[in-house]
Structure 1
Amino acid sequence: MQNEINIPIILDAVRKVGNVFLKDYKQNAIPQTMEELLKQLDDIDTICLASLKEDLSAEFPDIIWHIGDEFDTNSQRNPAQQGDYWLCDAMDGAIQYLQHIAGWTINLVLVREGKPVFSVIFDPFANEMFWAKDGDGAFMNDQSLKISSKTDLAVMLAVFEYGHQDKSDNYLNEKIGSTVTHLLKNFGIVRNYGPHGLQLAYVGAGRIDLFVQEDLDTYNWIAGLLIAKEAGAEILTTNGNPWKWGDENLLVAPKNTTEKYLKITK
């Protein structure tokens, strides 16, 4: 795949735009109205996409672009019906960025025949570049990633997340509440952090022991899923089946930890 994908060019392009945002971090006023919030979110998307297209289109002229809109639930159920394409989450954790809080990243995924084959998540604040190639491992900067080897739930860090879809009439709030209760009763440390992809990359790096989410959030997951998988984590649904694009929940952890979690919830 190295002959097909110029990895340094991709990483440099993502690092470049991430550092642009780092330079401007905390320079804008925190939005106080919905109008201000939406305007700043739109500006982030515009700046990020323009920079990435400028730096990558010459090297990859035949790869088209697709924006991952996590607010569009239906579009997340299936991969786009096209050939190779970039799936860009301009800023995962953009709310943290606008609120002057750490925990925001630039995420980019190359999708081929409906599956992610290369992904990168760059955390400018920590200067950490997580990336993975399908079948060739996962890395943080130049170091191979390794999942946690913990066996005691009492010393494990578990995280839960939730998406943006309406939860008023589909029992999702109850499912999320039940999930959090299971975590609090059984895991030593439970957190909710924000940037979904980065948390999944942290599972790959052994920093987080388990990630679970009870609603559909494909675009926020997809970059981190490849990184976690290539580092050795299991990628499952919350009922223990192998996860596939469009599944409406997600469980990611080392195999021994997913087995413990599934026993707890059943």
Structure 2
Amino acid sequence: MPENPATPETPVTPAHASLLAPMTAAAEEAGAWVRTRPLPGPARTMDELRTAFDAVDGPAAALLRGRLSALRPDAVWAEELDTELPAKGAAWVVDAVDGAVQYLQGLTSWCVSVTLVEDGEPVAAVLHSPVLGETYTAALGHGARRDGVLVSPSRKRALEAAVLAHAHPPFAARRPGAAASAGRSLSAVLPAVAAVRNLGPTSWQIADVAAGRLDAFWEYGRDDSNLLAGALLAREAGAEVTDPSGARWRPGAEGFVAAPAALHAPLLALLP
């Protein structure tokens, strides 16, 4: 069963699930457009990287904004980075090319991420990988799916058999405390598990935890825009989703852990 699928401030409603089809259509349209663009050539500087990315991300984001704003005209449009979510009301948190680093390197691990947030909580989410041709969806109280089929977390019982995913803090140079915690946590976890990988993007890795492809995921540092969709998917699939202290994860938390119940407590015990 999903863990705490709704809070008193965010009631379960069929309207959330009814948004998934048009949200998916918008994500698929944006992803298909991005795939038609030629991959940027080798960049030598950060300015060149930004210019190459903006040429793709800007039009794709504008396409999504047009489609999604029509669905919920009341929802504000949150910025993708350092998102400040409104305490009340609805907001779209959207990333047209989630996994920008991989995309710019010509790698395949990127996706389109679309999340509707109400009163600070994610209530509907779509992750679409144009390269894989796969789509994860979740709505509050309605479960998590991949390509329309319900998913559930790993059934492994021991960390020594588990394959975990981990992401470093975003903009790690600006967050030395989070970077230090990430380093300590990796040193603590590596000897206790079968493997640790960073497969990026963050949202898709958490979705793969929801579906049991990966056994758990953790990250230090605040990263709301990349965590909201995955948090909803993992909870709706039945995984535990907390911060490293074990408290329920909420936007603004300085860390994130998603794992099935059997692995969650042992993983928390390893984290600094």
What TM-score results when the alignment is normalised by the length of structure 1?
0.90
RMSD (CA atoms): 1.9
Aligned to 1:33: 45
236-245 or 60-69: which moved more? Answer: 60-69
Q: Number of aligned pairs? A: 259
Which residue, 235, 238, 243 being the options, matches 2:249?
243
Q: CA deviation at 1:28?
A: 2.5
Q: What is the rounded CA distance, in whole Å, between the counterparts of 1:49 and 1:124 in structure 2?
A: 15
Alpha-carbon shift at residue 13 of structure 1 (Å): 0.8
Counterpart of 1:222 (choices 197, 203, 228) is 228
Which of 2, 9, 31 matches 1:18?
31
Q: 1:63 maps to what in 2?
A: 75
Distance 1:163 1:41, change over 3 A: farther
Contact 1:105 1:123 in 2 (8 A): yes
1:39-70, CA deviations, whole angstroms, 9 ceiling, x for partnerless residues?
Answer: 1222233112211123233333333322221x
Q: Where do 5+ consecutive residues of structure 1 fail to align?
A: none
CA distance in 2, matches of 1:229, 1:190: 22
- Residues in 2 aligned to 1:18 and 1:213: alpha-carbon distance in whole angstroms: 26
Distance in 1, Cα, partners of 2:137 & 2:42: 31
Tell me whether 1:177 sits opposite 2:183 in the alignment: yes
CA spacing shift, 1:130–1:237, aligned 2, 3 Å: same
Cα deviation for residue 167 of structure 1 reads 4.2
Answer yes or no: is 1:118 the counterpart of 2:124: yes
The separation in 2 between residues aligned to 1:171 and 1:163, in whole angstroms, is: 10
The structure whose RCO (Cα within 8 Å, separation 6+) is larger is 2
| Contact 2:31 2:128 (8 Å CA) reproduced | yes
Is the Cα–Cα contact under 8 Å of residues 158 and 183 in structure 1 kept in the other structure?
A: no
Q: Secondary structure at the match of 1:171?
A: helix
Structure 2: tracts of 5 or more residues without a match: 1-12
Residues 153-232 of structure 1 aligned to structure 2 (within 5 Å): 153-167=159-173, 170-232=176-238
Give CA deviations for 1:103-138 in whole Å, capped at 9, x if unaligned.
101101111111111011111111111010011100
Report the Cα distance in structure 2 between the residues aligned to 1:30 and 1:264, rounded to whole angstroms.
40
Corresponding residue number in structure 2 for 1:142:
148
Work out the CA distance in 2 between the residues paired with 1:20 and 1:59: 20
**Alignment partner of 2:107: what SS?**
coil
Distance 1:82 1:236, change over 3 A: closer
What amino acid sits opposite 2:21 in the alignment? Answer: P
Hey, what's the Cα distance between the residues in 2 that align with 1:9 and 1:15?
A: 10
Partner of 1:43: 55
**Bigger mean CA deviation after superposition, 82-91 or 145-154:** 82-91
Q: Would you say the 8 A contact 2:203–2:226 is kept in 1?
A: yes
User: Does the 8 A contact of 2:217 with 2:259 survive in 1?
Assistant: yes
